[in-house]
Structure 1
Amino acid sequence: MGDERATPATEPRIETDLPGEETKRVVEADDAVISPSSPRAYPLAIERASGVAVTDVDGNTFWDFASGIAVTNVGHNHERVVEAAKDQLDTLVHPAFCDYYSPEPVRLAERLVDLAPGDSPKRLFFGNSGTEAVEAGIKLARHHTGRHRFIAFEGAFHGRSMGSLSLTASKTKYKRGFGPLVPGVDHVPYPNPAEAEGPEDAIETTFDALEDLLRTRVPADEVAGIVVEPIQGEGGYVVPPEGFHQRLREFADEHGMLLIADEIQTGFGRTGEWFAMDHWDVEPDITLMGKGIANGLPMSAMVARSDVMTWGSGTHASTYHGNPVAAAAANAVIDVIEDEALLENARSVGTHLQDELRDFAADVDEISDVRGRGLMIGVEFTDPETGEYLGDLAEEIMHAAWKQGLMLLPCGESTIRFAPPLTLTREQAATGVDLFADAVAEAVAVMD
């Protein structure tokens, strides 16, 4: 077990008003030079971090239960990841992997194609961000199938570049002012048990929509692929009913479509398995990876079955892809997850955290659902009388938690997401729930 799990980090400690004076100066400087398109959850200017603990420029210490948006899966600045990146920096930073060869990214690719869901032979393309992996998946699917259309899901988030944005359907503000987008993308409902009469009803709603789409608007033989998040991320940390992904695999096969799994947020142990599709024993044709792959260094990957990766030399590449520093960090991430038994920890501590949240939720009328797998957990807030989403309350809770020293982020219409590092201890989980409970009580009082 790693040091982070054996000795829990110092509890959150707030020593100044929030935001502090130094943070205010950083925010003011940021406002003058950084694009206003970059969203910020709250005025937090981070100076350093370790494990679950984050310290701002004013010396306040917070616990990051968002893991940098599910990126620092093995904890901030894990010493083995940092050491691996530093060692690589001493020898080679940029080999121009699109023109030459380099051992570190090749070693990583060998491991990733082995870890990706399914037993089929696979090949890999590296990118620098999640949205690049999505774009690569779109291009490969079109090239391999000779088809141009895609099916995605309502509530999905796949990125903000033009192709991935066309698949995204979580917030209208992402698309306003950027059209026309890539044509030929249609969306159907994601099976959300919380919005249906039961799991079977949720699945049937989705497949009824798929059948209607193919019957009335979209020729099946023009659809290159179905792009799906195994568990929806920004859409609300929605876990689909059992049997959904198996049936979606069958549907794709029936119509000659590729099944493309966006594992960018669900990958690298986040759900208690290497990839979320492993929970359902479903092999996608293409698996998209990012976020936690290198614990904070920019890297992503698109892994496809070898018989699908049929494009030729020069058809797709990137100057910085396969960067050896990021690859060294990613190799260290895999080592840490394996050596510190973090998949098992994510399952056991994740179950404990969900149990603690459900116990607390039993006494809060506004909490309508606690759901998730591993350490990917969502707590949803709705009006107990009308069932309407309480987005303003969720936002108030997020800010109240920050002032308590707990970093959380929202998702969906009115859900707070819990995505702490996979190194989280039961003690840290319990403390996090206590802080969350205080924030909920404060926010409910304010909203009343």
Structure 2
Amino acid sequence: MTEILLAAEASTVTQTRHLATAIPGPRSTALHAERTQEVTNGFGIALPVFVARAEGGIIEDVDGNRIIDFASGIAVTSLGASNKRVAERVAAQLEAFTHTCFMVTEYDSFTQVCKWLNANTPGDFEKRTGLFTTGAEAVENAIKIARAATGRPSVLVFDEAYHGRSLLTMAMTAKVNPYKLNFGPLPTDVVRAASANPLRPAEGLDAGAAAALESVEATILEHGADTFAAMVIEPIQGEGGFIVPAPGFILGLRALADKYGIVLVLDEIQAGMGRTGTLFASEHEGVAGDLILTAKALANGVPLSAVTGRVELMNAPHTGGLGGTYAGNPLACEAALAVFEQFEDGSLLVHARRIEEVAREVLEPLLSSTNIVAEIRGRGAMIAIEFADAGSLAPRADLARDISAACHAAGVLTLTCGTHGNVVRLLPPLVIGEELLRDGLTVLADAITNAAN
């Protein structure tokens, strides 16, 4: 099997876990105290450490602790948090200019990012791309495009969905706390349908795709098929718990979209850019969206997002109807071009698949050796462990929280997620070394075993 290699051969941050102090250490603790005096409490924190350097699979904090990174800035720094080629291209652009606004004067890097996305996103049809800044912006612009093209108002979304924190994307997101709590009223014309969650099917449905698709079609017809501009779904639902839909569900949505003239929007913001072992997660399903959304790892930490899709849809908005001051900023475009370069030989996709193999090798024995692991799921370097009581499947958010905290104390950064908060998610950078990966997974497995005893 292919060995996972670091993107940078000469790492400046030692790629081993090391605890110099308790986590958080004294310097991080002092800085966090200052943060609480200066920063709104509206921002949460997964692990209150302050970062000095980060590279490959390691975050080094201001106290000298080296922490294994199983978060990648929520699936952003997939090529490492200080990727050399990204830094080189961004630095060169900094010397030239930092911003002009593409709607005022043009620069070729914007066009070249669009060209790559047009060529490499799924779908054998002519495409156009628009660049923006955040994932939520990409989602909102996709809805604007779909409405302009169809003349229809409504948007169909799904259980367990997460699409962002803006007003429209909050309405599209399923989870109330913390994303929608106290922030209403929210935009209307958003309709929610059942998803095909194999472990936790919607009430009255079984674990397969067929019943879920029948329910989706019934929802469409109930609200009027000719009212829907778009249906929007993540090929793997991220914040909802890394839910891989039942086989055939995404393909069935494609058929329903075609049947009723609805624009199928695939939100690849978290699952895309190689995370699942293919460039785009929808490739696993054999489905092309009419519009596909990318962000997060698109520019490896420099804010950039994109909507790519059928030319007749993308050109439906009037000139001047799309844009944004920072949309497709030249620094971000150079970072994205550096990312594209590193996907050319296919090795990163091989590495993502190898990460899944190693994770399953270490974690899947816990399904039988403990009574708290309900499911291990995901694809590539996007793996989740769901915790629940045996038999009843009652969600155990307390276990996910405590296990993640134990990992943090041992120097492994993990994140929780899920509609019920009972999932630990793993998003290691695609360039993590296998020895480091195994070390982090062993810490996690030990934390799960200890919690089960």
Q: Shorter-chain-normalised TM-score: which range? A: over 0.9
Structure 1 residues 129-162: Cα deviation after superposition (integer angstroms, max 9, x where no partner): 1011011111111111100001101111100101
User: Is the contact between residue 162 and residue 240 of structure 2 (CA under 8 Å) also seen in structure 1?
Assistant: yes
* 2:444 is the alignment partner of 1:436: yes
SS of the residue aligned with 1:119? coil
Give the residue type in structure 2 aligned to 1:119: D
Please report how far the alpha carbon of residue 166 of structure 1 lies from its aligned counterpart in structure 2 after TM superposition: 1.1
Aligned mate of 1:382, from 385, 388, 406 = 388
- Deviation of the 1:317 alpha carbon: 1.2
Q: How many residues align?
A: 444
- Counting only pairs closer than 5 Å after superposition, residues 43-442 of structure 1 correspond to structure 2 as 43-196=48-201, 201-216=207-222, 218-309=223-314, 310-339=316-345, 341-412=347-418, 413=420, 414-442=422-450
Give the SS at the match of 2:212. Answer: helix
For 2:317, the aligned partner's letter is W
In the TM superposition, residue 200 of structure 1 has moved relative to its aligned partner by 6.9
Contact 2:208 2:247 in 1 (8 A): no
1:173 deviates by 3.1
Write the deviation string for residues 258-295 of structure 1: whole angstroms up to 9, x where unpaired: 00000000110000111111112211011111000011
Give how far 1:360 is off. Answer: 3.7
Matched AA of 1:45: F
Q: Which amino acid aligns with 1:330?
A: A
Once residues 80 and 118 of structure 2 are traced to their aligned partners in structure 1, the CA distance between those partners, rounded to angstroms, is 24
Q: TM-score, normalised by structure 1?
A: 0.95
Aligned 8 A contact 2:28 2:49 in 1: yes
* Secondary structure of the structure 2 residue equivalent to 1:302: strand
Single out whichever of 224-233 and 179-188 deviates more from structure 2: 179-188
Q: Is the 8 A contact 1:189 1:205 kept in 2?
A: no
Question: Residues 392-411 of structure 1: CA distance to partner in whole angstroms, max 9, x if unpaired?
Answer: 11011111101111101011
Distance (Å, rounded) in 2 between the aligned partners of 1:214 and 1:326: 38
Paired with 1:127 and 1:168, the residues of 2 have a C-alpha distance of: 20
Query: Which shows bigger deviation, 348-357 or 267-276?
Result: 348-357
Post-superposition shift, 1:342?
0.2
| Amino acid in the other structure paired with 1:323 | N
Matched to 2:311, the amino acid is S
The code of the aligned residue for 1:20 comes to G
Q: Is residue 265–residue 292 contact of structure 2 (8 Å, CA) maintained in 1?
A: yes
Structure 1 stretch displaced more, 170-179 or 312-321: 170-179
SS in 2 for 1:266: coil
- State the Cα deviation string for residues 216-235 of structure 1 (Å, max 9, x = none): 3x111010010000000010
Look up the SS of the partner of 1:397 in the other structure.
helix
Between 401-410 and 199-208, report the one with greater CA deviation: 199-208
Please, which moves more after superposition, 41-50 or 346-355? 346-355
State the distance in 1 between where 2:272 and 2:278 align: 8
Q: Equivalents in 2 of 1:176, 1:2: separation in Å?
A: 42
The 8 Å contact of residues 404 and 439 in structure 1, kept in 2 or not, is answered as no
Deviation (angstroms), 1:62: 0.1
3-state SS of 2:318 partner: coil
Go from structure 1 to structure 2 and tell me whether the alpha carbon gap of 1:3 and 1:397 turns closer, same or farther (over 3 Å shift): closer
CA contact (8 A) 1:162 1:182 kept: yes
Contact 2:217 2:256 in 1 (8 A): no
* Higher mean C-alpha displacement, 301-310 vs 435-444: 435-444
SS in 2 for 1:24: helix
Displacement of 1:348: 2.4
Q: Deviations over 1:155-182 (max 9, x none)?
A: 1110010111111002343212222211
What's the offset of the Cα at 1:7? 8.1
Offset of residue 108 of structure 1: 1.2
Gapped regions of structure 1 (runs ≥ 5): none
Question: Equivalent residue of 1:76, what SS?
Answer: coil
Identical pairs, percent:
36
Deviation at 1:2, TM superposition (A): 5.6
Amino acid of the structure 1 residue aligned with 2:437:
A
Equivalent pair of 2:229/2:263 in contact (CA under 8 Å):
yes
Q: Once superposed, what is the RMSD of the aligned Cα atoms?
A: 2.0
| 1:22-61 equivalence runs, <5 A | 22-61=27-66
The farther-off stretch of 435-444 and 68-77 is: 435-444
* Aligned mates of 1:350, 1:177 — CA distance in 2: 38
Q: Which runs of 5+ in 2 are unaligned?
A: none
